[in-house]
Amino acid sequence: MGREVAVLHPPGDPERFEVAHTLRDGLSGRAGPNFAVFLLYAGLVTDIAISHGYPWALLGAGGPLTIAMASVLFHDLRLLRRESARLATALAVPGRIIAVTKTVRDDGEGVWTRYAAVLGFTTGDGKAVTALLPTAPEDPADAYGREVTVHYVPGEPEGFTLDPAASHR
């Protein structure tokens, strides 16, 4: 209650809003520069393929791609280890889905329906927490009032999960 949340929407179209789970969701701003670097690199690989032959182009494209994928893999492994260590200290408390919202959007080409569930639980130290579930409920019609077990780390209930096994994966 009373906690600030980030709301994202396309410029000039606030009706298509989305509640962000962190203030950094969708706000990195790196898409344009990354795409420019990709275009420069693609041009370089094409130039090498034309001037030096096809095998050099494969080497030019495959080497950096392998390095990039290895760095992504190591980053994901670091995140996995950090999350596993964090969830090792998690407490389990009962919670309840206290609301299910339905958003219907008509964009002129079709009607889009989206459901979101609001969860309420009380931490071990008596703090009441109301949170938006990051994923839509499986069965929105039966979700309201459903009892769930909430796992959270003491001191940071905003990092809760309903399925710690899936969070470990």
Q: DSSP characters for 55-68? A: HHHHHHHHHHHHHH
Which residues does residue 101 pair with via DSSP β-bridges, in sequence order? 116
Token pair for 14: 């606030």
Q: What is the mean pLDDT of the chain?
A: 81
Q: Mean pLDDT across the stretch 112-124?
A: 88
| Residues 7, 41: Cα–Cα separation, whole Å | 35
- pLDDT tens-digit map of 1-36: 676 777 777 788 777 777 776 655 555 667 788 888
Residue 144, classified by CB atoms within 10 Å of its CB into exposed (0-12), middle (13-18) or buried (19+), is middle
Among 50-64, 67-81, 106-120, 135-149, the range of highest mean pLDDT:
67-81
Q: Mean pLDDT across the stretch 77-87?
A: 86
User: What percent of the chain shows pLDDT beyond 70?
Assistant: 89
- pLDDT tens-digit map of 137-163: 888 888 888 898 888 888 888 778 887
pTM over 0.95: no
pLDDT of residue 154: 85
| Residues 160, 150: Cα–Cα separation, whole Å | 7
- pLDDT tens-digit map of 126-141: 888 888 887 878 888 8
Helix (H, G, I), strand (E, B), or coil: what is residue 142? helix
CB–CB of 85/169 below 8 Å?
Answer: no
| Residues 79, 168: Cα–Cα separation, whole Å | 10
